[in-house]
Structure 1
Amino acid sequence: MADHSPAEQPASTGAGPWLERRYYIDLVRPRCSPTQLMAQVQADVPHFSPGLLADFTKQAGADQYALRVGDEFSIKILGPWNGSVRVTQVGRSSFEFITLEGHPEAGRIRFEAHYLDERPDTLRFEICSRARSRDGVVAFAYDTIGGGRLMQEATWVEFCRRVAAVAGGQALADVVVETVRHTPGGATTQQRDQW
């Protein structure tokens, strides 16, 4: 039987600037440990995503409520942005997706929970993406017009907030978004926003 899964779409196949984006929230004295929290997220990724912006549906994978390397999700994204991702890594406190052919982005996104070294009573949940736009048209819509970027940011900020609600504890601040932009010419810019 032939494998009909879409091909992986790494950042090297994309267009436009290469972006490293980090979305995180820090929680003092959470009700659960990083591994307990990540077990809940891995068991039901769609629950944490705002369905109106990015509706995750597991398309490939033996267990609906467990995350395994090779599992695939289709994502119905508001607007003309639908795509799919494949799980490439699963650990006790993290997991990672790679985008698949046809996704608006080309790259990887990692979800992780850990205690802060300087504050051992504080848990950080973070989402880190390293990606480029799939092609020049998406790069224009995402970067120049900005609609895709704002929608993506709203999706991952809400994902972090939903994870924080499950973790409990006191948030030190709202979700922080950090962006490092690497242009094809070699220039790098950084931006930090707080929702």
Structure 2
Amino acid sequence: MASASTDTETHQAGELLLPEDGAGPLLQRDYWAVIKGCEHPPSKLMDWVSRRFAEFAPAELCVFKRTDESKEGEPLELGDELSVKIQGAGTFGVRVIHRDEQSLTLATLPGHPEAGRITFGAYRNDLGDVIFHIRSRARSGSTFHYVGFVTAGEAMQTNTWTEFVLRAAATAGEGVVGAIHADTTELDDEPEGGDPEHGPTFVARGD
């Protein structure tokens, strides 16, 4: 798969719920697929995602809303915040901490059941196919949330983000080629060069 980016914008974050504040192992979760029949560049897909983010998440599992309703329909930018109502868990906050033409990264705010960030990105593989990719890197937000996540949250998260990938693929093309890939890796620490406050979990290149 591809990596590395166009110009990167950073943002001086306020208070975030960082992985170091959480509990349990640091988990990296990847959800991605090749988009079938995609005739749009990755940057166009990410423009749609940034403008219509809430539409890509399954409402029966979680509902996203912009905190500043006056910006509805505008692309998400650095510093913008969203509320997310998670089924059976409550309503929490996330903030955009990184944005470029091919990716968008959200970080969790205090009280969220996870401590970390998640990047949504689109890029081309070596064959020129467009890939939509979600990668989260987080710990549970607290010991309480860790226990709850082990019992029910992991399956809900997988269902949420695989559906997000599927909807993105249906928007930009004819669905996915083959299956949606879902992988979880336990990390000892943030990989070298990573920045939990300002940076993405991966860098998308190839428009």
TM-score, with structure 1 as normaliser = 0.85
AA in 2 matched with 1:83: F
The corresponding residue for 1:148 is: 153
> Based on CA coordinates, which of the two structures has the bigger radius of gyration?
1
Cα deviation for residue 177 of structure 1 reads 0.4
Name stretches of at least 5 consecutive residues in structure 2 with no aligned partner. Answer: 1-13, 190-207
Q: Distance in 2 between matches of 1:150 and 1:183?
A: 23
The corresponding residue for 2:194 is: none
The corresponding residue for 1:50 is: 58
Question: In the TM superposition, what whole-angstrom CA distance separates every residue of 1:139-164 from its partner, at most 9, and x where no partner exists?
Answer: 11112x2x111101100010000000
Q: Give identity over the alignment, percent.
A: 34
Q: Distance in 2 between matches of 1:152 and 1:170?
A: 20
Within a 5 Å distance, the mapping from 1:60-139 to structure 2 comes to 60=68, 63-65=71-73, 66-117=75-126, 119-120=127-128, 122-139=129-146
Structure with bigger strand share is: 1
3-state SS of 1:82 partner: strand
Within a 5 Å distance, the mapping from 1:2-13 to structure 2 comes to 7-13=15-21
The corresponding residue for 2:48 is: 40
Question: In the TM superposition, what whole-angstrom CA distance separates every residue of 1:85-140 from its partner, at most 9, and x where no partner exists?
Answer: 000111111010000001100001000000002x11x1110110000000111111
AA in 2 matched with 1:160: V
- Root-mean-square deviation (CA), in Å? 1.9
Q: Distance in 2 between matches of 1:20 and 1:97?
A: 15
Summarize the Cα distance change of 1:36–1:81 in structure 2 as closer, same or farther, 3 Å threshold: same
Cα deviation for residue 181 of structure 1 reads 1.4
Q: Which moved more, 1:29-38 or 1:167-176?
A: 167-176
- Residue in structure 1 matching 2:29, options 21, 25, 28: 21
AA in 1 matched with 2:68: A
Q: Which moved more, 1:86-95 or 1:21-30?
A: 21-30
Summarize the Cα distance change of 1:160–1:39 in structure 2 as closer, same or farther, 3 Å threshold: same
Q: Does 1:165 align with 2:170?
A: yes
The higher relative CO (CA closer than 8 Å, separation ≥ 6) is in 2
Question: In the TM superposition, what whole-angstrom CA distance separates every residue of 1:41-91 from its partner, at most 9, and x where no partner exists?
Answer: 111100101111110000037622221101000000000243210001111
Name stretches of at least 5 consecutive residues in structure 1 with no aligned partner. Answer: 1-5, 185-195
